[in-house]
Amino acid sequence: MDTIGDFLTRLRNAYKAHRPVVQVQSSFVRAEIARILKEQGYVEDYQIIQEGNKQFLRVLLRYGARQQPALQEIVRVSKPGRRLYTSSGKLPEVANGLGIAIVSTSRGILTDKEARRLGVGGEILCFVR
């Protein structure tokens, strides 16, 4: 099962249904994606909640004027059946620089701009705009 793809689909569906919160089971990669989405202004906040022996990631979604979703599109790029790796020089620009690509690198999970600045490539997890 693709846990990252599941997380992204839940975010996409919650925004379409105008839900205020999404809750999924937590993992390091999901928490890092939520951290990047918060830093870039696509979500309001996120929390890791302990319930018994399980951890959950609760993401508060951000909406603008007239309930316009802050996140317009989020697309999974590298999938379990087809991994997509690239060098720092070949990292794609999303929506001519208006969006971001989230990349898993040897220095952690970064945006495409941070990865270019640090000169590291890696697996492109998703595109966000």
pLDDT, mean of residues 12-18: 96
Domain residue limits at 124: 3-128
- pLDDT bin (cut points 50, 70, 90) of residue 1 is confident
What residue has token string 């839940």?
10
Q: What are the helix and strand counts (H, E) for the chain? A: 3, 8
Helix/strand/coil for 91? coil
Helix/strand/coil for 73? coil
Q: How many domains does the chain have?
A: 1
User: Half-sphere exposure of 42 toward its Cβ, with a 13 Å CA cutoff?
Assistant: 22
The pTM of this model reads: 0.95
Token pair of 6 as six digits: 């599941």
Distance CA 84, CA 123 (A): 6
pLDDT, mean of residues 14-43: 97
pLDDT, one tens digit per residue, over 58-115 is 999 999 999 999 999 999 999 999 999 999 999 999 999 899 999 999 999 999 999 9
Ramachandran class of 92: left when φ > 0, alpha when ψ lies in -120 to 50, beta otherwise: beta
pLDDT, mean of residues 11-15: 97
pLDDT, mean of residues 5-25: 97
Q: What is the CATH number of the domain that holds 52?
A: 3.30.1490.10
